[in-house]
Amino acid sequence: MKKVYGAYLCTGCGIGEVLDVDGLKDAASDAGIPMKEHNCLCGADGRAFIEKDIADQGVNTIVVCACSPRVMQQEFDFGEQTITVRGNLREHVAWTGSLTEEGNVDEFLQEMGTDYVRMAVTRAQKTELPEPYKLESISKRILVMGGGIAGLTAAKEAAKAGYEVTLVEKEAELGGKALGWRKMFPTTYPYAELEASNITDLIAAVQGDGKITVKTNCEVARISGAPGEFNVTFKEAGTKTEWDAPAKVTAEDQDRITKGEMEDPNKDFQKYTNKNPDGELFGAVVLATGWKPADVSEYDHLGYGKLANVVTNAEFEKLAKNGKVPARVAFIQSPGGKDSDADFPYCGSVTSMVALKQANYVVEDNPVDGKAYILYQHMRTPGNAELFYKNMQARDNVFMTKAAVTKVASAGNALLVDVEDNLIGEDLQLEVDMVVLAAGMVPTTAGENVINLAYRQGPAFSDLGLFEGYADSNFICFPYETRRTGVYNCGGVRRAETMEETIDDAMGAALKAIQCIESANRGVSVHPRSGDQTYPDFFFQRCTQCKRCTEECPFGALDDDDKGTPLPNHTRCRRCGTCMGACPERIINFADYSIDMIGSMVKTIEVPDDDEDKLRVAVFVCENDAYPAIDMSGMHQNKINRLVRFIPVRCLGSVNMVWIKDAMSSGMDGALLLGCKYGDDYQCHFAKGSEIATKRMENIGETLGSLGLEPERCGVREIAISDYDKLPAIIDEFVEEIIAMGPNPFKGF
């Protein structure tokens, strides 16, 4: 579109009290857009002030220098055919400083304000109106993988919402592990009594729904394509196809593949096609393939696999359903041994609840001589389950103690359980008929390929190095998501859950699948940049096929075409921009977020050449944790170091190292990346953007060293959204390091 600009300065909320308004307006004019002022742009009069220019002058590209873009979004939304760019003068400037003791405008604070005005104007000049990417045709059918509680519930709920569903189950009948349950946990007040399983009712509801197609004895052979157009082929359960068990490619092998020095064993998975005549088209996938019991045979002192009547909790449940359970049973919740307070792998609240349920079976089936011993390091009974726990504590002949089990031995027809460090302070030896080990719930995605994706990055979730094998994208912020857009997980494949929790989980996953389909239909992205109309645009004429964008994408959005050139799948894309940051040729951009845009914004920051008191540090801040933390710091009136300039980025993964090089070569004295935490406790909304950026910055540090600049001039700091109170100190610490090094020697050149 032909742009008609309008720039507007709000003097309310303290902005006009601590900053020179005329100086801010002059900065906008010098950058290319004359600016008007108003004392309350977010009010009705302020909005009308802008709308008049839209009506009278045809303004369609609007710069609003006022409060944070994270607030007043509706007030500054002027329709889809307009561009609105926000400059943050309130939280990032006015609320972080004050007038001088003499009552004058602080020169350092004013310089901050004028820099942010120039950056906002430049951003508006470099922004283009995005056009949504829409598929030629879209499937609104949902594939549900797994016929247990989670899969059945997801299928039923999606069908109730009006969507056609195909449910695939590898076993001969539906129901999953719930078919083997004798009872289920209490779901109603007073949460004291176990309840009969309702799995048969759920199966009947699914089988009787005309919108649901059920395939039993069936598995997914291959999934290619992207949300809205997944192409899925099926196979008979247990059979092998050409898509099964591809080789695991090491980093060294991948480098040789990229250089053309060896054949890629996963190449069949890298063929992108939506034209498989044998496939069925789906809009989204719900992964509900469940869990399997953890292996407990490694604990020799407990005797599993060696001693008769040492069983897992899953095996005991089948025994309890099919007949009377033994009278004396020890439920061991932790492996014990000397100096050990750990639990069995993949244990949690569910295994604690299972022990309570199964202890109930013992005393229920043996009212005269039944004795149940629960030996634990940790008992977890969250929410209303605490009431069931209290009820079981009060049951006669149910004994619970924190304890370490050191040995299980055979004694004729009985078993002897040696117990130390229990609550009564005495070593015990329990004689029981059976020992039940609390085997945890291992997700089927742990070390196993259950989905067979025809993706360049590999066919399985286990390829991604996920936490404990769970197929999550961000467990805290985005439940049900996986790192494969359009594939949503629920039930035991997401986390260990009770039946009631699984039902809630499956409803959420079904809704996410529906949201994904409808977003693809509108040409916009899903989570976390929900509704974003942009998508990466590649200038392939300059592509060197280095594969960095393809390999670094956290969500596998890029495949290869027949010539080895990156092949985007736009409905898989989460719009993080990691590909943009990865590209050494700088050929990947978005309509409203580009290499040129951010680079130009950095260049508009004025860098004094002759004042050692006015060093400049560019701080690239991610939009999900760092930027909100800065906002909240400003809201709390915390002082921010006035030598820094914040440049918002979608994710640290999108930071292209050319921005750092340009900043340093233009005389900036330091550059800092401020973003989400990564590692075991990762919080990055885009899965691994912060981690990727840290590795890139290590390399840029080496480059600076070769130029005679201290590598310490560039750094990365992790910050959680809740760390707003720590933020000023984090910034000050880095700036002090820069001050100690002195000005950038390239300053003025």
Termini Cα distance of the chain: 38
Q: Helices (DSSP H) in 384-498: which residue ranges?
A: 385-393
Per-domain boundaries in the chain: 1-129, 142-290+444-522, 304-440, 593-749
74-122: pLDDT as tens digits: 999 999 999 999 999 999 999 999 999 999 999 999 999 999 999 999 9
* CATH code reported for the domain at 142-290+444-522: 3.50.50.60
* CATH code reported for the domain at 593-749: 3.40.50
CATH class of the 1-129 domain in this structure: alpha beta
**Distances from the Cα of 636 to the Cα of 87, 110, 675, 727, angstroms:** 19, 20, 20, 12
Confidence of residue 610 (pLDDT cuts 50, 70, 90): confident
Give Cα 632 distance to the centre of its chain.
Answer: 22
Confidence of residue 466 (pLDDT cuts 50, 70, 90): confident
Contact (CB, 8 A) for 662 and 602: yes
Closest CA to 137 of 226, 231, 228, 232: 228
Burial group, residue 88, by CB count within 10 angstroms (0-12, 13-18, 19+):
buried
Distance CA 117, CA 123 (A): 10
pTM here? 0.91
424-465: pLDDT as tens digits: 888 999 999 999 999 999 999 998 889 999 999 989 987 787
Distance CA 84, CA 6 (A): 10
Burial group, residue 3, by CB count within 10 angstroms (0-12, 13-18, 19+):
middle
Mean pLDDT along residues 581-594: 97
Contacts of residue 260, defined as CB under 8 A and 6 or more positions apart, other chains included, come to none
Q: Helices (DSSP H) in 248-384: which residue ranges?
A: 251-258, 313-322, 349-365
Q: What is the pLDDT of residue 138?
A: 96
Distance CA 410, CA 421 (A): 22
User: Could you tell me which residue, 462 or 693, shows the higher pLDDT?
Assistant: 693
Closest CA to 107 of 737, 613, 671, 618: 613
Mean pLDDT along residues 55-66: 98
User: Could you tell me which residue, 496 or 683, shows the higher pLDDT?
Assistant: 496
**Which of 260-269, 368-377, 707-716 holds the top average pLDDT?**
368-377
Distance CA 416, CA 551 (A): 54
Helices 626-635 and 727-741, axial angle in degrees (round to 10): 100
The Cβ-side half-sphere exposure at 366, using a 13 Å CA radius, reads 20
The Cβ-side half-sphere exposure at 698, using a 13 Å CA radius, reads 5
Q: Convert 438-465 to b/e letters by CB count within 10 Å (16 or more is b).
A: bbbbbbbbbeebbbbbbbbbbbbbbbbe
Q: What is the pLDDT of residue 478?
A: 83
Q: Helices (DSSP H) in 171-262: which residue ranges?
A: 199-207, 251-258
Lowest mean pLDDT among 274-283, 360-369, 391-400: 274-283
- Grouping H, G, I as helix, E, B as strand and the rest as coil, residue 400 is strand
500-522: pLDDT as tens digits: 999 999 999 999 999 999 999 99
Same topology, domains 142-290+444-522 and 304-440? Answer is yes
DSSP letter (8 states) at residue 741: H
21-43: pLDDT as tens digits: 999 999 999 999 999 999 999 99
* DSSP codes of every residue in 684-700: -TTSSHHHHHHHHHHHH
The Cβ-side half-sphere exposure at 371, using a 13 Å CA radius, reads 11
**Distances from the Cα of 48 to the Cα of 42, 340, 448, 466, 467, angstroms:** 10, 69, 59, 50, 51
Mean pLDDT along residues 302-322: 95
Peptide bond connecting 528 to the previous residue in cis, omega within 30 degrees of 0? yes
Domain 304-440: which CATH number of 1.20.150.20, 3.50.50.60, 3.30.1450.10, 3.30.160.20: 3.50.50.60
Q: What is the pLDDT of residue 425?
A: 83
Distance CA 191, CA 357 (A): 12
Lowest mean pLDDT among 120-129, 269-278, 380-389, 723-732: 269-278
Residue whose tokens read 């604990």: 299
